[in-house]
Amino acid sequence: MKFFRSKIDDNQVEDLKDQILNGRIIDWSPISNKNAGIKFEDLKYILEYWGNKFDWKKQEEDLNSFTQHKTKINNTEVHFLHIKSGFKNSVPLMLIHGWPGSIFEFLDLVPLLTNPKTENKKSMIPFDLIIPSLPNVGYSFSIDQKPKDLKQISSIFIKLMKQIGYKNYFVQGGDLGSFIASIMAIKDPKNILGIHINFLPLPRGLDKTPNNKLEEQFYIKLKNWMHFETGYQAIQGTKPFTIAHALNSSPIALCSYISEKFFAWTDNKGKLFETINIDRMLANISLYWFTGCIGASFWPYYIRHKTDWPIDKDCPILIPMGYSEFPEELFSPPKTLADQFYKNIIYWQKHNKGGHFAAMEQPEILASDINSFVKKII
């Protein structure tokens, strides 16, 4: 295990700016509609900001203000943040990002979990945070190592916690991170005290006959989402490197592909950058660009398309689980369905604002939910 600091060469930063400002985009608005992808004017605004105002060095300084390490587990390089609260009663918590996210998702959540405000110290639990980059993403990515699927990543993260020295701990995740957290709960129930998730994955093979109105509404929403919003899964699951070559050749293409998900998956009401910090989003996209990891980040989708679903209905989760339901999540199964797989749901909180990128959209709410869940156990 060795200390790590992000240090992108100034020439790389300038080259990125040049490509952004000198690239070409075409206005498709005369023949497109709101459901055809990112709007021309939105992409144009982001690119102008990225090329002229965005400060990568500032974002890099924010990242480097936290202790980072790299280690090797199962012949896989793993980059992670290890942030200790400084309190004696702190609780170990792993935060796991998804796709198309990165460690930058969590930077604004860190102080809320590690250093609760003075007036809340009696009611808020201080956490020691372990925030890994998925082995296929960011500084965990290496062109020399084979990408990993979700089951492999879960095993690596279990070993990471043991290597750091944590026997018992909690896990939190959204998107692919919620899959990984759930798989970890199945693999290591003796050491993981509980998992909190803000995206609710279910195994395939559950009874899909609606038993109530909420289940009926969920299946309708799921069907619509599968029909209109899963084009990215199709290409990432079948020909990931074809699109990866295109995205790695142009930061404009990469930005269009990733930022579209922030527009589509957040509770933004047409005003995305009143919902999330544009600099954090662009730091996330820049990290994908500088490391060239986008193709490897698709790997879990590719493996999922070719093999069994990563969670199995015959292996239910028995340890405590907590769930935060945000209204603009991709889809949210009702608790009656979740109960079929998560057998020990002790916390379920429904909110009236927020979406898929909860740590970026509503960090205070997410931090409060994590605290409330953990308090029920310790």
Ordered by where they begin, the domains of the chain are 6-19+36-375 (3.40.50.1820)
- Asked if 341 contacts 317 with a C-beta cutoff of 8 angstroms, the reply is yes
* Residue 122, pLDDT score: 55
* Residue 210, pLDDT score: 85
Is there a cis peptide before residue 100, judged by omega within 30 degrees of 0? yes
270-309 pLDDT per residue, tens: 999 999 999 999 999 999 999 999 999 999 999 999 998 9
Q: Which residues are catalytic?
A: 175, 301, 356
Q: Which of 223, 214, 155 has the alpha carbon at shortest distance from 184?
A: 155
338-356 pLDDT per residue, tens: 999 999 999 999 999 999 9
Q: Which of 191, 200, 198 has the alpha carbon at shortest distance from 170?
A: 191
Describe the crossing of helices 278-291 and 251-265 by its angle, rounded to 10 degrees. 140
- Dist. CA 187–CA 183, nearest whole Å: 6
3 state SS of 356: coil
Q: What is the pLDDT along the chain (378 residues), one digit of tens a residue?
A: 999 999 999 999 999 999 999 999 999 877 766 678 999 999 999 999 999 999 999 999 999 999 999 999 999 999 999 999 999 889 999 999 999 999 999 999 999 999 876 444 557 899 999 999 999 999 999 999 999 999 999 999 999 999 999 999 999 999 999 999 999 999 999 999 999 999 999 998 877 788 899 999 999 999 999 999 999 999 999 999 999 999 999 999 999 999 999 999 999 999 999 999 999 999 999 999 999 999 999 999 999 999 989 999 999 999 999 999 999 999 999 999 999 999 999 999 999 999 999 999 999 999 999 999 999 999
CB atoms within 10 A of CB 303: 18
* Residue 118, pLDDT score: 47
Return all residues near 146 (Cβ < 8 A) that are at least 6 apart.
Answer: none
* Residue 111, pLDDT score: 95
